[in-house]
Amino acid sequence: MNLVIIGGDAAGMSAASRARRIDPEAEIIVLEKTSDVSYSACGMPYNIADPNKEIDELVVRPAKVFREKFSIDLRLGHTVTRIDRENNTVIGIEEQEKQEFKINYDKLLIATGASPIYPDIPGLDKEGISSLKNLQDGRQIKNYLSRNSVSKAVIIGMGYIALEMAEAFRDLDIKVTMVKPRSQILPWMSNQLSETVKKELQENEVELYPGQKINKIERHSQGLNLSCSEVELSCDFVLPATGVSPNSKIALDAGLEAGPGNSIAVDRYMRTTDPNIYAAGDCADAYHVLSGKKTWVPLALWANRGGRAAADNIYGKNLRMQGIASTSVFKVFNLEVAKTGFSYFEAIEHGFDPVEVNISSRSRAHNHPGSKTIQVAMLGDRNTGLLLGAQMLGMEGCAHRINAVAVALHNNMLVEDFWQTDLSYAPPFGPVWDPLLTAANQLSKQL
């Protein structure tokens, strides 16, 4: 049996490695359109922040290792343009020789990832404007910053990558302005928490312009100019970071069913609607552990997990995936910002009647030195008492604390039962009643 994998990043290479581990004899072909495989995409902002680091330090396993140690037929510069399901064939272009290729598959895994959404702004193609998704983007941005005098950057968007890049630019002593059309900074976050993020950005001299439509970008001799609805912004570099969308075109063109957000629909075994074709990673959808409904959340762990599970199932292991709780964390300057489960509006979309509480607690015990504020927003369902999710932030103690809630969501716990969980306590690490328990207690009273 041969396995063809389209895409050589998190999901694709996890699948390839897993397939090799399961079947030492399997023929495994990976078709990757760029020249990079298996790198830590999430590490790019931190690498860019440090001019002494090479972008290639983010490569976890080089192509050579996959080829020689794992005997994987890894073909770089191979862009698949079409899937011919009738003939079990993928068709594409090899970049260097511009030759068409056709490859037969017994089983196919689509792991094409996601691409940045380019906002519809005239002038977005000018020099000094680059988004950050793959390693080649990171390489280009790093090169641009080292070869040009960049003292001011504008970031379009205020999501994870935008916020992490704001910090990276400030580390490089570049002035940062963030601008976006919607008025809310972090629309998935409770107002109280999002205000704290805003303050943290402002304290680190990041200028914020939410609620600004960007009409055009022009290039002058001195740099770039963004004309927005109420403000003109000049800078030396523009980073559009307004989210990503799944690279699902070849799958949907081939008649495979679509999931939310134009992703590729997969079942709990990572199978698409074609029994010979699987999909995993940022291009595929997932079941939410709370609602059991489909959702699309491009996150690194799920991509790795999905690729691995696809290989397991292709090789007959029958691994049923529980789904995602949509847990995430990011660092923005001195804050750890974490989330799991549904935000208020997501909960409504998934059919719940959410109640949200916001509490403020401490990262260390009463009177313990160095204690910081921790804010928690927690949501429960008015009808069932079900715990729906939590968001939290603080200067310490949030990145891993959120996981207690994530595990609770996997078990469909009631808020009142979560309140009973036996969480750790010692003075250097929190109050006797963990901030999450305090939030659960308050939320219980409201339900």
Catalytic residues, which ones?
42
Residues in the chain: 447
Dihedral (C-alpha) 271, 273, 277, 279: value to the nearest 10 degrees?
-50
| Choices 254-262, 269-277, 321-329, 349-357 (CB under 8 A): range interacting with a second copy | 321-329
301 binds a second copy (CB under 8 A): yes
All residues at 6 or more sequence positions from 445 whose CB lies less than 8 Å from its CB, including other chains: none
Options 76-84, 132-140, 173-181, 425-433: segment touching a second copy (CB under 8 A) = 425-433
Contact segment (CB under 8 A) with a second copy among 23-31, 124-132, 143-151, 422-430 equals 422-430
List 159, 360, 433, 442, residue binding a second copy (CB under 8 A):
433
Q: Identify the residue among 1, 51, 60, 231 touching a second copy (CB under 8 A).
A: 60
Q: Is 368 helix (H, G, I), strand (E, B) or coil?
A: coil
CB of 301 to a second copy, least distance (A): 5
- Selection from 358, 341, 338, 337 nearest residue 350 by Cα: 341
Given 100, 351, 426, 445, the residue binding a second copy (CB under 8 A): 426
Does 163 interact with a second copy (rule: CB under 8 A)?
A: no
Alpha-helical (H) ranges within 318-370 are 344-349
118 belongs to the binding site for a second copy (CB under 8 A): no
CB 115 within 8 A of CB 245: yes
- Which one of 190, 212, 242, 340 is in contact with a second copy (CB under 8 A)? 340
CB of 416 to a second copy, least distance (A): 9
CB of 349 closer than 8 Å to CB of 320:
no
Residue 372 interacting with a second copy (CB under 8 A): no
- Candidates 65, 124, 174, 423: give the one binding a second copy (CB under 8 A): 423
Is the separation of the CB atoms in 419 and 378 below 8 Å?
no
Using DSSP's 3-state secondary structure scheme, residue 136 falls into helix
Strand stretches in 342-436, DSSP E: 354-362, 373-381, 387-394
Supply the minimum distance, in Å, between the C-beta of residue 277 and a second copy: 23
Q: Considering only 118-126, 144-152, 216-224, 421-429, which stretch makes contact with a second copy by CB under 8 A?
A: 421-429
Residues 376-415 that bind a second copy (CB under 8 A): 397, 399-408, 410-411, 413
Asked if residue 422 binds a second copy (CB under 8 A), the reply is yes
Q: Does 193 bind a second copy (CB under 8 A)?
A: no
Cβ at position 225, least distance to a second copy in Å? 33
How far is 77 from 74, CA to CA, in rounded Å? 10
Q: Which stretch binds a second copy (CB under 8 A): 1-9, 57-65, 189-197, 207-215?
A: 57-65
By CB under 8 A, name the one of 194, 291, 328, 375 that touches a second copy: 328
- Does 15 engage in binding with a second copy (CB under 8 A)? no
The answer to whether 20 touches 26, Cβ cutoff 8 Å, is yes
Q: Helix, strand, or coil here: 75?
A: strand
DSSP strand E in 275-394: where?
Answer: 277-279, 286-287, 294-295, 328-332, 335-341, 354-362, 373-381, 387-394
Per-residue interface string for the shown chain with a second copy, residues 261-300, x marking contact by CB under 8 A = ----------------------------x---------xx
CB of 97 to a second copy, least distance (A): 33
Which CB sits closer to a second copy, 236 or 381? 381
Q: Is 424 in the site for a second copy (CB under 8 A)?
A: yes
Given a contact cutoff of 8 angstroms between Cβ atoms, the answer to whether 11 and 281 are in contact is: yes
Q: Is 231 in the site for a second copy (CB under 8 A)?
A: no
Q: Which helix (H) or strand (E) holds 199?
A: helix 191-203
Distances 65 to 12, 34, 364, 417, 435 between C-alpha atoms, Å: 15, 17, 45, 48, 45
| Interface stretch with a second copy, choices 105-113, 196-204, 212-220, 316-324 (CB under 8 A) | 316-324
Please say whether the beta carbons of 255 and 85 come within 8 A.
yes
CB atoms within 10 A of CB 387: 28
65 interacts with a second copy by CB under 8 A: no
From CA 189, how far away is CA 197, in angstroms rounded? Answer: 10
Spatial separation of the C-alpha atoms in residues 120 and 213, rounded to whole Å: 11
Binding region for a second copy (CB under 8 A): 10, 40, 42-43, 46-47, 50, 57-58, 60, 289, 299-302, 304-305, 321-331, 336, 338, 340, 365-369, 397, 399-408, 410-411, 413, 417-418, 420-430, 432-434, 436
